């Protein structure tokens, strides 16, 4: 990436001024549950502690999806994405289960104040 795209869940960036709202951008990532194999096995221990392998898999999924959101924004000329929302869902059917992660936000151009 030639320029690092700033990402935030906030509607503004401290120290920056939004100069142009470009478009809504989104990134959709689907991961087979084999990535999260310990997640459901760990539910029986849900009240007994945290499942570190599941947390690591969810963190990796989030990072991947946000990286794709950053690329999407850069492709349309944005240097920031504001108002980011992350939605996690499970897709099940036919004996298969997958994690679906969607990141959305508003691609903007910002300048330092």
The domain that contains 24 carries what CATH number?
Answer: 3.30.110.70
Determine which helix (DSSP H) or strand (DSSP E) holds 64, and give its type and residue range: helix 52-75
Compute the average pLDDT of residues 11-40.
81
- The partner residues of 108 in beta bridges, in order of sequence, read 21, 80
What's the Cα-to-Cα distance from 18 to each of 12, 62, 74, rounded to whole Å? 8, 25, 15
In a domain, 20, yes or no: yes
Is 70 within a domain? Answer: yes
Q: How many domains does the chain have?
A: 1
> Which are the contacts of 16, defined by CB distance < 8 A and separation ≥ 6?
6, 80, 110, 111, 112, 113
The gap from C-alpha 60 to its chain's centroid, in whole angstroms, comes to: 10
In a domain, 1, yes or no: no
Does 76 score more than 80 pLDDT? yes
- In angstroms, the CA 49 to CA 100 distance is 24
pLDDT of 59: 84
Tell me, yes or no, whether 62 lies in a domain.
yes
Burial zone of 67 (CB within 10 Å; 0-12 exposed, 13-18 middle, 19+ buried): middle
Tell me which residue range forms the domain holding 67.
6-112
pLDDT at 12: 87
Look at the pTM and tell me if it is higher than 0.85. no
pLDDT one-digit tens code per residue, 60-74: 889 999 999 999 999
Residue 96 within any structural domain of the chain: yes
């Amino acid at each position: 990436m030639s320029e690092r795209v700033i990402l935030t869940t906030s509607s503004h960036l401290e120290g920056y001024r939004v100069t142009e709202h470009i478009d809504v951008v989104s990134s959709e990532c689907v991961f087979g549950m084999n990535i999260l194999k310990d997640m459901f096995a760990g539910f029986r221990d849900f009240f007994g502690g945290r499942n570190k392998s599941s947390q690591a898999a969810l963190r990796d999924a989030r990072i991947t999806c946000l990286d794709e959101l950053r690329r999407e924004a850069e492709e349309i000329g944005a240097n920031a994405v504001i108002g980011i929302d992350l939605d996690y869902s499970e897709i099940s059917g036919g004996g298969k289960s997958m994690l679906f992660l969607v990141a959305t936000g508003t691609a903007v151009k910002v300048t330092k104040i």
